[in-house]
Amino acid sequence: MSPHLTPPPRRALALTGPGLAFPASLVVLLVVLAPMLLLLLGSLRADATPGTDAASGYTLANYALFFTDAYYHRVLFDTLWVSAVCTLAALLLGFPVAYFLARTQSPRKSLFIVLLVFPLMVGGVVRAAGWMVILGNAGIVNAVLTGLGLSEAPVKLLYTPLAVILGTTGVVLPYLILALQSVLEGIDFSVEEAAQNLGANFFTTFWRVLLPIAAPGVAAGTVLVFILCMNAYATPVLLGGTGLTMMAPALYDQITKAANWGFGSALAWVLVTVTLAMAVLSNGFIHRRYRRTMGG
């Protein structure tokens, strides 16, 4: 007869979770929170150049400059609407692909996943350069338009908001597809068959059954993509030029070109705060709709 195993003490069980989470929490504290705190302190100083005396005092002048300068209001507004458009475009284009990958039983599914992940192995600068070749005055699009007689002169596509939206959407699209695919694969698709057996068409089944169930995954994927769009740097710089300025390039210019570390830090904190606020609001809205739909 085998001896009975003695269960671990209740206190040992209680300390297992926090004990395992402590190293990761410490890394996050040192790598993320500590630099963010230094950035906040720098934004509250008139001269936040590295090496200056911290005893020079703190001020809200950098934030006052942002909130009173119409130029930076426009930069923030452009960042918000471009990020929202890119997120919506990625959702509309990515959901059908994610649905196909989740439902397909093809032996080539692994190949499809590899092709989807492959763009993530290419740097953002390289992908932006590819869009420059496609959208330039002597690029592929203009060559097709002039070749078909649809335009006598090259159409200005590069260094426009459209170019930034196309390039940024292309960058974030694989992230959203992968996030949605993992969620859709966990759904029992027999609920679709049950809805269709009850007389629901494809659109009704998608809108009333599939989308509400997948809402938490949609929320997580769209929030991730929105954050990536808000903090995009290489694509807006290379494809937007002077035609569109977003927050990340603006704060980078303040730190590297103008050497205004205080105002650049303030811009960074405005970007972080607005991004987190929009992400929390959108995530809360989607989850409220999810609870209301599933509860009803």
Q: Quick one: three-class SS letters along the chain? A: CCCCCCCCCHHHHHHHHHHHHHHHHHHHHHHHHHHHHHHHHHHCCCCCCCCCCHHHCCCCHHHHHHHHCHHHHHHHHHHHHHHHHHHHHHHHHHHHHHHHHHHCCCCCHHHHHHHHHHHHHCCHHHHHHHHHHHHCCCCHHHHHHHHCCCCCCCCCCCCCHHHHHHHHHHHHHHHHHHHHHHHHCCCCCHHHHHHHHCCCCHHHHHHHHHHHHHHHHHHHHHHHHHHHHHCCCHHHHHHHCCCCCCHHHHHHHHHHCCCCHHHHHHHHHHHHHHHHHHHHHHHHHHHHHHHHHHHC
What is the pLDDT, as a whole number, of residue 169?
95
CATH superfamily placement of domain 66-295: MetI-like (1.10.3720.10)
Instruction: Give per-residue pLDDT as tens, 213-250.
Output: 888 888 888 988 999 999 999 999 999 988 888 999 99
What is the pLDDT, as a whole number, of residue 70?
93
What is the pLDDT, as a whole number, of residue 56?
56
What is the pLDDT, as a whole number, of residue 1?
46
Collect the ranges in the chain with pLDDT lower than 70.
1-19, 47-56, 287, 289-296
